[in-house]
Amino acid sequence: MAVLNKIRQRSLFLIIVIALALFSFVLADLFKSGSSFSASSQNVVATVNGKDITREDFMQKVEAAQRQAGPNATGSQVINQVFEQEVRQAIMENQFEKLGISVEKDQMRDLLKTTLATSPEFLNEAGMFDENKLNEYIANLKETSAEGYQGWINYEKSIAANALQQNYFNMVRAGLTATLKEGELEHKLDGNKVDVQFVQIAYSSIEDDKVKISTSDVSDYIKKHKKQFEVKESRDIKFVQFNEVASTEDEKAIKASLTGLLKDKVEYNEASKASESVIGFLNTTNNESFVNNNSDIKFDKRYVFKSGLSAVVADSIFKLNEGQVYGPYQDNGYYKISKVIAVKQIPDSAKVRHILVPYIGSQSATADVVQTETEAKATADSLLAVIKGDRSKFPELVTAFSSDQGSVQNEGRYDWHPYNSMVPEFNDFEFEGKVGDVGVVKTVFGFHIIEIEGQKDKKRAIQVGTLAREIEASEASIDKIFRDASNFEIALEKKDFEAAAKEKDFVVRPVNGLKVLDENIPGVGSQRPIVRWAFEDGSNVGDTKRFNITNGYVIAQIVAKHEEGLMSVEDAKATVMPIVRKEKKAELIKNRVSATGLDALAKAESTTVRTASDVNMKNPMLTGVGREPLVVGAAFGLKEGQTSRLIEGSNGVYMIKVTKVKPAVKLDSYQAAANRVEQQKLNVVSSRLYTALKEASEIEDNRAKNQIQ
């Protein structure tokens, strides 16, 4: 009670303490997330031209896209795809709003009618689109499935967006015309030609080491060409990879275990307390059971031609007789021993027609299938009896009963197709029977009434039983790899990354220019955790960390941080130095030249006067030199017989003389050329319009900040 009384007496003090603690917690959370009171809300994935893309809406679309993409697409790939779609939609909607264009209800109905014109569920008995069926479908969705109805709304939005975008592009195209003056210019750029003489003093005539380039030279160039050297925030890392792969000893053990399965042996049976004889792979008669009990790959009873065997061993296996074996051999990550179990002559292709009768639960069953398996079998047997009595009825029975839409239009027929291209039961009937056979076959799709119409080119085929063991690291090898990674990690506490790796002959792999939303690490694959770590607030240059990857580990170190803005001098050197070197060489050449004519210049520089004929502006090439647009442009500014001053080109410094001017032939009309110019403009719209709009937009990407990836 005394304690309670003291608490009551100090209640105001406690309230103040608790309030301060809560306030500190909120502040800490704000600082931890890199937010401030004026920062963008964490509920905003991006802002495009002032329009927010909310996290909730974005993640719903990501989840839907992930379901549609399936397991093969990574989360980062799906997020990036949806993000680009959302940014595009926001940019285009901004344009639509400015122009005041929209899709109204009547137009939406027309768009749906066009889009769904061939969907069977919306067609009437005459095969025409029925709007009432569409209305009924939408009403049913609204009543029965909120998720399905929302999906439909999104579908309508996507159709409307596509229509608006097409309208927008068409409006832009409508404004892209070419005048006759543009046509005339196009004609002259192609048709105006000059013959020239020139002297080239190649930049390569001055050794690179004669030209000194300072850090300030590179820096000055970057400042003058800022647009070219703007970069996003990035990181450089290096890493050592430890892969859990089979050692030489592991591989020997795998091969030995396979070889041990070949011959008969005597083993002690713990259950019967007696020694028993165990039949080996060479002598077993139950090959399927033996393979399934002893192999990492199950038995495949189908016959194969030589072309169906692995190219690595096809020659060796196909020449074996029945009962003979080949191996162990390595193939596709496994050690294998193969045995020829049987040999027969099989057609390499067949032609059949069939009727497919599905049942509830079969793979081909649609919502309107009502027959059970027993009822479907009875239907198939009845159809078989009718066909055996009169085979001319086959086409009409296909139309009336077959659910295989891929063959109904061809009277149920599958024209010539190779062995093993159908499901096993279907394949066995058509290739092991003979022409004219007709029968009922059950597959995962239902019951098939099949007639064999033709077979071609019987060839030798073999049935192969293969014992396979995956080549994988043993427990001992996995433990060693773990120890190697751990010891390397410990060594980094005292040693330099490169030195520690060199001491153990580990390969160090550099990765430069990682961006905050990158996913792949070259040589390792999808590794978002490594990228996220490299960009975390607490990660610094020199930090190292160990990551678990599929079948192994990566130990990485942050080498450099590059902030958003202008590229650093060090990073830009590789690009800038060749350019600055050319500029300095051009200056050296121009300073040493005093000649004013071609012959004098050629003599002074120990070179020759060269010629180029029919030079034009459309394709600014000089014979024997290559593309030189500045030099060719200067030539067209000279009169016939006139010699230029020194010109800095792409490959050297030039002096050029025009020996003949050849004007383009005058045309009565330049409409054809104007039409070509207009078409060129129209072609550019599809490929460049959206890119231009995106570059002109203000896009704030908060994915990394809000940990969307």
* Domain CATH code at residue 519: 3.10.50
Going by C-beta distance under 8 Å and a sequence separation of 6 or more, which residues neighbour residue 296? 334, 468, 469, 470
pLDDT at 709: 64
Residues belonging to the chain? 709
Q: Specify whether the CB–CB gap between 229 and 566 falls below 8 A.
A: yes
pLDDT at 39: 46
How many angstroms separate the Cα of 617 from the Cα of each of 68, 147, 661, 663? 51, 61, 13, 12
Is the same domain home to 451 and 325? yes
Do residues 661 and 196 lie in contact, with contact meaning Cβ atoms separated by under 8 Å? no
Residue type present at position 283: N
Is the backbone of residue 457 left (phi > 0), alpha (psi -120 to 50) or beta?
left
Q: How far is CA 626 from CA 463, 622, 648, 662, in A?
A: 62, 5, 14, 21
Is residue 221 assigned to a domain?
yes
How many other CB atoms are found less than 10 A from the CB of residue 379? 19
The Cβ-side half-sphere exposure at 251, using a 13 Å CA radius, reads 11
Amino acid at 68: Q
Closest CA to 91 of 703, 695, 693, 700: 693
Q: List phi, psi (to 5°) of 90.
A: -65, -40
**Per-residue pLDDT at 41:** 59
- Tokens representing residue 75 in the block: 């989360």
**Do 516 and 373 share a structural domain?**
no
91 part of a folded domain: no
Look at residue 604 and tell me if it is in a domain.
yes
This prediction's pTM: 0.62
Domain assignment present for residue 133? The answer is yes
Residues 639 and 612 in one domain: yes
- 315 and 448 belong to one structural domain: yes
- Distance CA(408)–CA(391), nearest Å, equals 16
Per-residue pLDDT, 22: 39
Domain assignment of residue 360, yes or no: yes
Same domain for 558 and 503?
A: yes
Question: Does 484 share its domain with 464?
Answer: no
Is 253 inside a domain boundary? no
pLDDT number for residue 502? 95
Asked if 125 and 240 sit in the same domain, the reply is: no
CATH number (domain holding residue 435):
3.10.50.40
> What's the CA gap between 333 and 296, in Å, rounded?
11
Q: What share of the chain is helix, strand, coil (3-state, %, to 5)?
A: 45, 25, 30
Last residue of a domain, one of 563, 597, 626: 563
DSSP 268-310: EETTTTEEEEE--TTT-S-HHHHHHHH-SS-----EE-GGGS-
505 shares a domain with 625: no
Same structural domain, 548 and 610: no
Residue 616 lies in a domain: yes
Last residue of a domain, one of 470, 488, 506: 470
Distance CA 546, CA 490 (A): 11
Positive/negative CA dihedral, 450, 456, 460, 465: negative
* Residue 486, in any domain of the structure: yes
Q: Which of 470, 490, 508 is the last residue of a domain?
A: 470
φ/ψ of 170, rounded to 5, equals -65, -35
Q: What is the C-alpha separation between 251 and 556, in angstroms, rounded?
A: 30
Distance of CA 440 to the CA centre of its chain: 44
The total number of structural domains that make up the chain: 5
Which residue stretches of the chain have pLDDT < 70?
A: 1-41, 706-709
Residue 104 DSSP class? -
Q: Are residues 386 and 337 in the same domain?
A: yes
> What CA–CA distances, in Å, run from 326 to 90, 317, 330, 465?
63, 6, 11, 11
Question: 497 and 426 share a domain?
Answer: no
In 504-648, which residue ranges form alpha helices assigned H by DSSP? 528-535, 569-592, 598-604, 629-635
* DSSP element (H, E) containing 209: none
Q: DSSP labels for 405-439?
A: HHHHTTTTEEEEEETT-S-HHHHHHHHHS-TT-EE
User: Tokens 């996220």 belong to which residue?
Assistant: 532
Q: Residue 119: which domain range?
A: 105-174
Q: How far apart are CA 214 and CA 220, in angstroms?
A: 10
Same domain, 348 and 460: yes
Model pLDDT, residue 117: 84
Q: 482 and 244 in contact (C-beta within 8 Å)?
A: no
CA distance 205 to 223: 29
Q: Which of 581, 558, 561 is nearest to 570 (CA)?
A: 561
- 43 near 708, Cβ under 8 Å? no
